[in-house]
């Protein structure tokens, strides 16, 4: 019986790490530009689609295909930032409308080209690891370990590099950062690209588990919204805590009850939290 609950926790940790990759980029974009990128779920979806194309259609090694997918999604994020978000940065309404337009356009084009069926992606490791009665499949272990590496590198980048210091300065006060010599437009562009690449990595990593399909974008975006609201909009520590919590919550409730109840429960928690703490757990006025 104990091993049964340990299995749930292991699965929950894998789900949580995947959520972190998605929501870190989502939070990063809002934190530095105050932009809600409604197309972020579609960038996650494109990571899976590109990984399918590079590995299953072009015959590349999984890791090479994943890397190329990450780069392509990151470059697409930069193009979106330059053509859509940066020019409309001072017009919040136009920015939101454009983000929704990007959401619709990317989803429509992808479905028109790829169709609505699930496309499979071969795992980099088809084996599994067993610890007593607890089993971790190879593709889920790859998600966990890869996500841990990527999240660690992300925090090292943000804490110890010139780019990270510039990004934190822009988040705190863009005008003061500009006075101190920070190239604010370049910081916007690079951070948008990194945030998009994180979503692309998440989609590519999970593609061997759930496949690649345009319909995977919307659930990812909804989960990102739930995590961001729970943790506090723009708060990276809040995104980490709420992402981990929601991953374990989803895994537990889905296993013991159903995925529908897990989804409903997540939104009920958000509604309750908004009543007592409108800014989220780590949000600041």
What's the 3-state SS for 59-111? Answer: CCCHHHHHHHHHHHHHHHHHHHHHHHHCCCCCCHHHHHHHHHHHHHHHHHHHH
Residue 28 burial class via C-beta count within 10 angstroms: exposed 0-12, middle 13-18, buried 19 and up = buried
The average confidence (pLDDT) of the chain is: 84
Identify the pLDDT of residue 25: 84
Domain boundaries, the chain: 14-215
The beta strands (E) that lie in the chain are given as 128-131, 134-137
Q: Please, what's the largest Cα pairwise distance for the chain?
A: 61
Residues 44 and 199 sit within 8 Å (Cβ to Cβ): yes
- By three-state DSSP, how is residue 232 classified? coil
pLDDT digits (tens, 9 = 90+) for 72-117: 999 999 999 888 888 887 777 887 888 888 888 888 888 888 887 8
- Could you tell me the pTM of the whole model? 0.88
Q: What b/e string do you get for 137-163 counting C-beta neighbours within 10 Å, with b at 16 or more? A: bebbbbbbebbeebbeebeeebeeeee
Identify the pLDDT of residue 1: 63
pLDDT digits (tens, 9 = 90+) for 186-208: 888 888 899 999 999 999 998 98
Identify the pLDDT of residue 46: 93
Distance separating alpha carbons of residues 158 and 239, to the nearest angstrom:
15
Residues 196 and 73 sit within 8 Å (Cβ to Cβ): yes
Residue 48 has pLDDT above 90, yes or no: yes
**CA-based nearest residue to 259, from 247, 246, 250:** 250
**Within 13 Å, how many C-alpha atoms sit on residue 98's CB side?**
17
């Amino acid at each position: 019986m104990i091993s049964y609950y340990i299995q749930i926790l292991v699965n929950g940790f894998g789900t949580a790490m995947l959520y972190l990759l998605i929501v870190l980029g989502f939070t990063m974009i809002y934190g530095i530009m105050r932009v809600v990128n409604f197309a972020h779920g579609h960038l996650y979806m494109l990571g899976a689609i590109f990984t399918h194309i590079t590995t299953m259609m072009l015959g590349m090694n999984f890791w090479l295909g994943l890397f190329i997918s990450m780069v392509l999604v990151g470059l697409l994020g930069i193009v979106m930032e330059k053509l859509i978000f940066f020019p409309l940065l001072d017009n919040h309404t136009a920015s939101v409308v454009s983000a929704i337009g990007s959401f619709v356009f990317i989803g429509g084009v992808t479905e028109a080209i790829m169709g609505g069926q699930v496309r499979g992606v071969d795992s980099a490791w088809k084996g599994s690891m067993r610890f007593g009665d607890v089993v971790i499949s190879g593709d889920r272990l790859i998600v966990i370990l890869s996500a841990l590496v990527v999240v660690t590198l992300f925090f090292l980048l943000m804490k110890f590099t010139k780019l990270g210091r510039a990004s934190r300065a822009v988040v705190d006060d863009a005008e003061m950062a500009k006075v101190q010599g920070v190239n604010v437009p370049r910081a916007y562009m690079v951070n948008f690209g990194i945030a998009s690449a994180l979503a692309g990595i998440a989609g590519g990593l999970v593609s061997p588990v759930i496949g690649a399909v345009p319909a995977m974008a919307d659930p990812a975006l909804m989960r990102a919204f739930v995590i961001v609201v729970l943790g506090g909009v723009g708060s990276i520590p809040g995104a980490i805590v709420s992402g981990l919590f929601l991953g374990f919550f989803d895994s537990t409730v889905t296993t013991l009850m159903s995925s529908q109840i897990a989804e409903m429960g997540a939104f009920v928690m958000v509604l309750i939290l908004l009543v007592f703490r409108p800014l989220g757990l780590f949000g600041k006025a």
